[in-house]
Amino acid sequence: MIDAVRRHAAWLLVLLTVAIGIFVVVLDFMSPGNIDAEWVTYVFPLAALMSTGVGAVLAIKRGENPIGWLLLVNGLVIALSGVATEYATYGLLTDPGSLPGAEFAALANQAMWPVLFAPLAAVAFVFPDGHLPSPRWRRIAIVLGALFALQQVLLFFAPRPLEEPFDAYSPPLPQVSDAIFAPLFGLTSIAMLATLVAAALAVRTRKRRATGLERQQIKVLAYAATLIPLAVAAGWAESMISGRADTAAVAGLVAVLIAVPLAIGVAVMRYRLYEIDRVINRTLVYVTLTVLLAATYAIVSLAVGVALGGGSTLPTAGATLAVALTFGRLRGYVQRIVDRRFNRARYEGLRRVERHLLSLRAGRAMPESTGDVLAEALGDPDLELLFALPDGGGYVDAQGRAAKTYPEGERVVTPVRHGDLALGAVRHDPALTEQPDLLDSVITAAGLAIEIARLRAEVRRRLAQVEESRARIVTAGYEERRRLERDLHDGAQQRLVSIGLAIRHIQGRLGAQGGDLDAELDATVNEVTRAIEELRELARGVRPACLDDGLAPALRELASRTPLPTEVTATSERFEEGVEAAAYFVASEALTNSVKHARASRLTVSAERHNGSLVLCISDDGVGGAVAAERSGLAGITDRVAALGGTLRVWSPRGSGTQVTAELPCAS
């Protein structure tokens, strides 16, 4: 019910204001000798419609907030001010006596100027939530409002004639004596000024206490309110130059009456509030830049003109060239000054990114540290920089590990792009979304570093995939060898053993009657025994059965079969099967090479865990000079170790023996 009443009341005020505006245009059309310039007739209705339209939206959407209703009243007051002028002009000048009460309209046109300030001053008191800053402000508002109203009433009874062009007519209301009017008008004028100052103080008081959204709302209003002193300054300047304050003063007033309601509507409806910092920053930069470039143009033109004399086009050309040459450098300089004075966070953040880029070019920093630089520049120590893989392959961190971009907990994700190219994403504190100019500027400035880090992360990711693929191949080969070893051990070998036992059984049954068959059967059994031994050697080469008991026993068994004295020092700790098998084959190949080629007299083998890796070392006291040639045994075990993410080093100076060291990563 209440919402319906509010809606109908709002539409009633809108229709009334629109009707008055149409009436103003009709009267102006009927009065060809209008005292005002043509453009003034139409801009005041535009200002009224702006205030009325914004007020209607707020009154309907935010009916409990009085700001919308104050803007509706403001639009109606502007419309009434305009109709007073047009009504008096037609009724007293164009067609005298045709309209009743034209003298009252002339008096209203002259006297109702204070009420034009009242609604917007009231808005300042209750902006943005519709309440005064604190209860103590209630008395201040009541006293100032009463004095404000008293001044408006006094002006209708002022002891002075109507102003031009209506000075031929007498005021329709009785006039109070100057002895009464003067002190009261002085008091109320002071009160009016105090009201405007108090309105500004109310906004300032609220801004000091405000945070987040409310602070941005006040910034929007303050940005639009800067037009008020600019309008006053324009009026003063015009008055000093021409003796009249008509065009500039009216244009400034209309700009205020249009911009302030629009800013209030944006703030109360909370539409893209966090863009205001960027708008304010850019406005300061370009206004300052315009003034400096205009001064540069004027100084150069004057200097060259004085030097060359009049009639030459060189002053204009020289001034234009000077402006063109100084624009880029001057803009950057002005931007830094504005940031340093009014947006310190942005200034410090951009300087931090610039220092990082210089360090990158000089080789003093790594691209992978860009995420830490962004965290410092944006003041978010938990910030994460993720890099996009090509073709929508997901995201990785600086180390190439797969990462997810969806928000975690209270974090927010901001994509990083260069045109249509996705560079990555930044996961950060939601508070940074309240400073879009800071966030966007810092990320944009760091774009080159992010792109370099993304390429390096992509390469690192591809290398990791290759290593994982090689490890999978080695593991698959190892599993296949284990299967083959089991098949040989449990299949062919067992069948040959059974055949040998069967032959011996037959030989036993023949007894002394075997004759020559007995010798042939002995030979057959010997052949079967040799075949079994060969199968055992083959199975041992595929996957040594001694590894079932661990790496240390396997290395000792391997050393026992070596023809040279071999000392083994090995941990009894168990490792992954693939790691143990690789270590065994490295030791086997190294010992074989030492026996065949090194002319050594003594060998040592050690195997210990160190810093998360199994470190295997095989040394001899031979002639040295060993080289891991292509397709050699050392090259083969190098590939085997590398496939598991390890490294193999061969130290073999001539005459000083050989040392083969393999480091194989292993789980903790």
pTM, entire model: 0.50
Report the pLDDT value the prediction gives residue 331, as an integer from 0 to 100: 76
> Which contiguous run of DSSP H or E holds residue 661?
strand 658-665
Residue span of the structural domain in which 500 resides: 466-541
Residues 203 and 140 both lie in one domain: yes
Confidence of residue 530 (pLDDT cuts 50, 70, 90): low
- Cross-strand pairs, 396: 387, 402
User: How confident is the model over 551-580, as a mean pLDDT?
Assistant: 87
51 has a pLDDT exceeding 60: yes
Is 420 within a domain? no
Residues 537 and 567 both lie in one domain: no
User: In the chain, what percentage of residues exceed pLDDT 70?
Assistant: 74
Residues 176 and 29 both lie in one domain: yes
667 has a pLDDT exceeding 90: no
Distance, CA of 22 to CA of 79 (rounded, Å): 10
Domain limit, last residue, from 494, 523, 541: 541
494 has a pLDDT exceeding 80: no
CATH assignment at residue 625: 3.30.565.10
Residues 156 and 198 both lie in one domain: yes
Give the alpha-carbon dihedral of 434, 435, 437, 443, to 10 degrees. -100
Domain limit, last residue, from 482, 509, 541: 541
Residues 149 and 197 both lie in one domain: yes
Please check whether residue 98 is in contact with residue 91, taking contact to mean a CB–CB distance below 8 angstroms.
yes
Residues 126 and 208 both lie in one domain: yes
User: How confident is the model over 560-567, as a mean pLDDT?
Assistant: 88
- The rounded Cα 55 to chain-centroid distance in angstroms is 35
Residues 123 and 173 both lie in one domain: yes
Please give the tally of structural domains in the chain.
4
Is 449 within a domain? no
Confidence of residue 606 (pLDDT cuts 50, 70, 90): very high
340 has a pLDDT exceeding 80: no
Report the pLDDT value the prediction gives residue 654, as an integer from 0 to 100: 86
- The rounded Cα 12 to chain-centroid distance in angstroms is 46
Residues 225 and 83 both lie in one domain: yes
629 has a pLDDT exceeding 80: no
Residues 77 and 11 both lie in one domain: yes
Please check whether residue 515 is in contact with residue 494, taking contact to mean a CB–CB distance below 8 angstroms.
no
- Cross-strand pairs, 424: 387, 416
Q: How many CA atoms lie within 13 A of 258 on its CB side?
A: 13
Residues 486 and 592 both lie in one domain: no
Residues 482 and 566 both lie in one domain: no
Is 373 within a domain? no
User: Which residue in 443, 378, 388, 393 sits closest to 420, CA to CA?
Assistant: 388
Q: 608: helix, coil or strand?
A: strand
